[in-house]
Amino acid sequence: MTIFAKTWTMTLILGIETSCDETAAAVVEDGRFILGNVIASQVDLHRRYGGIFPEVASRQHILSILPVIEEALFGADIDWDDLAAVAVTYGPGLAGSLLVGVNAAKGLAWGRGLPLVGINHIEAHIYANWLVKDAPPPVFPLVCLVVSGGHSELVLMTGHGQYQRLGGTLDDAAGEAFDKVGRLLELPYPGGPAIQETARDGTPSAFKLPRAWLPGTYDFSFSGLKTAVLRIVQQHQTQSGDKASFKLRATNSQHPPLTRLISVANLAASFQTAVVDVLVEKTRRAAEEFEAKAVLVAGGVAANELLREEMSKRNSIPVRYPAIELCTDNAVMVASAGFFRFMAGERAGWELDVIPSLRLLEKAPA
């Protein structure tokens, strides 16, 4: 006897994500409800290098991809026949990593007779905001801040799949700045969560750090801030009689631990506040200028507690964030974006290829 009859109106999408260092697969219903979600993280593997090692990442994706997809379907308690389509990230990201996901998706979709939908990773991050439990879907127009390890983009979203890029980083992405400064402060990889933890015991006004306001634009720049942190570290190392190298160093240097020379907590707190200040202020101004109904924050850095707190405090319109576990890379967000593109009639051809430098406004190849 069937206890649980599935209504045939629901549309189930299998999402696949391998753009960086997470191998992920998920099943999402109607773009909003998570049925299965599996992430095989490679963070421990890359920690010894202090950052992502692309060749190691793609080899690990090859090992994980099929078990991860099988587990996502098993967790969702569905068969291949229940799926409406397969959605996969085809850019931006690491070429070797993207190739694993795209080829798995193409092979499985072909083999199972399912349509294929190509998804932009930045768009997927935005769609993590459609998966917030018990909240109605966001209403357009929206100003979206996408801040991750690879991207910092401020985008006006006027409808599903309709974007106007307002600005972006001119150098490091916000997450990249967190990771580089984390390394400088001799904190473990990834730097974002480590800086957040360390900053809890620090005073944000302890160090006067620069903010690149870049007036008249919605662009960001974090390289000056990163260099300012580097100079402070070097100054203390030099004062302690240590001849510091003028390069960003890995944690296993011969120098005395930084914590003996300086308040790392104060420097972490001052850095975090400087990044958050600029991100929040630019987003707030954009939301006002474009009369947005809400602000969406997305990407790994959207997990940052100070960013979430300040963004809500300084905006007069609603601010939405994905659940913390959906801020960093996952396939749920790919399946959600895939649902809306699938419903709009979009299909990728079997020639779908990876585009490592894909931008948000480029359309998936038909």
Residue 143 is encoded by which pair of tokens?
A: 């100003």
Nearest approach, Cβ of residue 173 and Zn ion (Å)? 10
Q: For ligand KG4, which is the closer residue by CB, 157 or 173?
A: 173
Q: For ligand KG4, which is the closer residue by CB, 262 or 303?
A: 303
Among ligand KG4, Zn ion, none, the one that 303 touches (CB under a kind-dependent 5 to 8 A) is: ligand KG4
What number of chain residues touch Zn ion (CB under 5 A)? Answer: 2
**DSSP output for 225-282:** HHHHHHHHHHHHHHHTT----SS---TT-SSPPGGGTS-HHHHHHHHHHHHHHHHHHH
Helix (H) / strand (E) element for 17: namely strand 12-17
Nearest approach, Cβ of residue 91 and ligand KG4 (Å)? 12
According to DSSP, the residues that pair with 17 across neighbouring strands are 24
Nearest approach, Cβ of residue 290 and ligand KG4 (Å)? 24
Among ligand KG4, Zn ion, none, the one that 192 touches (CB under a kind-dependent 5 to 8 A) is: ligand KG4
Distance between CA 69 and CA 103 in Å, rounded?
13
Distance between CA 37 and CA 14 in Å, rounded?
10
Among Zn ion, ligand KG4, none, the one that 190 touches (CB under a kind-dependent 5 to 8 A) is: ligand KG4
Closest CA to 82 of 92, 72, 91: 72
Among ligand KG4, Zn ion, none, the one that 275 touches (CB under a kind-dependent 5 to 8 A) is: none
Interaction pattern, residues 143-172, with Zn ion; x per rule: CB under 5 A: -----x------------------------
Q: Does 329 bind Zn ion (CB under 5 A)?
A: yes
The region of 220-228, 277-285, 290-298, 321-329 touching Zn ion under the rule CB under 5 A is: 321-329
Cα torsion angle, 338, 341, 345, 346, sign: negative
Distance between CA 193 and CA 201 in Å, rounded?
14
Q: For ligand KG4, which is the closer residue by CB, 96 or 191?
A: 191
Binding positions for Zn ion, 48-87, rule CB under 5 A? none
Q: CA 64: distance to chain centroid?
A: 20
Query: 113's torsion region: left (phi>0), alpha (psi -120 to 50) or beta?
Result: left
Closest CA to 184 of 119, 260, 105, 247: 247
Order of strands across the sheet that contains 152-159: 162-168, 152-159, 142-147, 294-298, 319-320
Nearest approach, Cβ of residue 354 and Zn ion (Å)? 15
Distance between CA 226 and CA 244 in Å, rounded?
16
The region of 1-9, 25-33, 47-55, 324-332 touching Zn ion under the rule CB under 5 A is: 324-332
Nearest approach, Cβ of residue 196 and ligand KG4 (Å)? 4
Q: Does 129 bind Zn ion (CB under 5 A)?
A: no
Among Zn ion, ligand KG4, none, the one that 178 touches (CB under a kind-dependent 5 to 8 A) is: ligand KG4
Residues lying near Zn ion in the complex (CB under 5 A) are found at 148, 329
